[in-house]
Amino acid sequence: MMQATGFQRCVATEFFDSFAGTSKEGIARKYGVRGANFIAFKD
Amino acid sequence: MEQFCEITLDRERLKSEVRTTYTKVAEAPGGDFHFHRGPEYAARQLGYDGDELAALPESATASFAGVGNPFRVREIPAGAVVVDLGSGAGMDCLLAGRRVGEKGRVVGVDMTDAMLELARKSAAQAGMPQVAFEFGEITDLPLADASVDVVISNGVINLAVDKPAVFRDIYRVLKPGGWIQFADIVVDHELSDKARNDIDLWVG
C-alpha cells in the first residue's frame, strides 16, 4: 500500500507484544495482532 | 503482496466512535479499556526510556496509548520539522520536541478536542514552544505540500478506513528526502468480513 503511494524502502523494523496483559490478549493471540515499527522514504 | 480489504461499515459512525473512545481516555486514562495506557506500559513493553518519560508532564503521558515506539526506528535530526499523526495527549510530540530542539518544529494533528486540550497544556507545562497542535484528520492534513522532514505516528493509522488516502497525504506533505517512521498494528492472519466490519473490534 505504501509503495503504491510512491514510498521507497518500506521496512518493518521491530515488533511488539502490545496487547499482552489486556482484556483482548486472547483475541490478539488468535489473530496474530501485534504492534510494529515501520520506516519508508520519499526519495 | 498488496492486500485491500473491503470495508463496508459506517465510516462516520466509526469516526464518531473513535472520538468518543479517545475522549474517554483523555478524561479518565485509568478507566477500563482493552488497550494499555501510560508511561509504565510504554517503558515496560515498548522500550521507551522511563526516565525521559518521567521528566514529561503527567498530562502528556497518562493517556498514551501507542502500540510501538517510533523513536527506536531512527534518530530524529535536530532542526527537523516533524508531524505526529494522531498526536493524542502529546507524549510523542514532546519527545520529538526534545530531539528537534528550539530550531526545529513539531506539529501534532488530532481530531479529538479533549486530547488537543491536554496536549497544548502539556507543551506549555514542558516549556516547549517548538511543539504545537492542530485539529485535523490524517486523510486531510492541515499542512502545506513538501513542508515536513519526518512524519511519526503511533497506533493511529489502523483507525482510518481509507488507509491509501492517509499515505497519499503523508507523501504530499513530506519533502523529497523525507521519511515516515511510525508504529501501528499488524495482523498475521486473514480476518473474516464480519470481523473487518465490526466497529467494536476497530475501537474496542
pLDDT tens digits for A2-23?
999 999 999 999 999 999 999 9
Give, in order, the Cα–Cα distances in Å from B194 to each of A25, A28, B9, B164, B203: 20, 16, 10, 22, 15
Distance from CA of A19 to the nearest CA of B (A): 6
Write the ipTM.
0.95
* Angle at which helices B91-100 and B113-126 cross, to 10°: 40
**Is the Cβ–Cβ distance between B183 and A36 less than 8 Å?**
yes
B171: contact with A, CB 8 A cutoff: yes
Show the DSSP H helices in B73-177 as ranges: 91-100, 113-126, 163-173
Could you tell me if B183 lies within 8 Å of chain A, comparing CB atoms?
yes
Task: Say if CB B86 and CB B109 are below 8 A apart.
Answer: yes
> Does the beta carbon of A41 lie under 8 angstroms from any beta carbon of chain B?
yes
- pTM of the predicted structure, to 2 decimals: 0.93
pLDDT tens per residue across span B112-158? 999 999 999 999 999 999 999 999 999 999 999 999 999 999 999 99
Residue A27 has pLDDT above 90, yes or no: no
Whether pLDDT at B202 is above 80: no
So what's the pLDDT on residue B2? 45
The per-residue DSSP string of B192-204 comes to PHHHHT-HHHHH-
B186 touches chain A (CB under 8 A): yes
Q: Kindly determine whether residue A42 and residue B178, on different chains, have CB atoms separated by under 8 Å.
A: yes
Query: Which of A7, A23, A37 comes nearest B68 by C-beta?
Result: A37
Contact A13 B168 (CB under 8 A): no
Q: A38: which chain B residues are within 8 Å (Cβ-Cβ)?
A: 73, 180-184
**B184 contacts in A (CB within 8 Å)?**
35-36, 38
Residues sharing a CB contact under 8 Å with residue B128, sequence separation 6 or more, in sequence order: B94, B97, B98, B106
Share above pLDDT 90 across residues of chain B, in percent, rounded to a whole number = 84
Tell me which of B148 and A1 has the higher pLDDT: B148
Contact B67 A4 (CB under 8 A): no
B71-106: b (≥16 Cβ within 10 Å) or e: bebeebeeebbbbbbbbbbbbbbbbbbbbbeeebbb
Band of the pLDDT at B6, cuts 50, 70, 90?
Answer: low
Interatomic CA distance for residues B72 and B1, integer angstroms: 26
What residues in A contact B45, CB-CB < 8 Å? 16-18, 20
pLDDT at B80: 98
CA distance A26 to chain B (A): 11
Contact B185 A33 (CB under 8 A): yes
pLDDT digits (tens, 9 = 90+) for B93-117: 999 999 999 999 999 999 999 999 9
CB distance A40–B188 less than 8 Å? no
In the predicted model, what is the mean pLDDT of residues B169-183? 98
Which pLDDT score, from 0 to 100, does residue B203 have?
A: 67
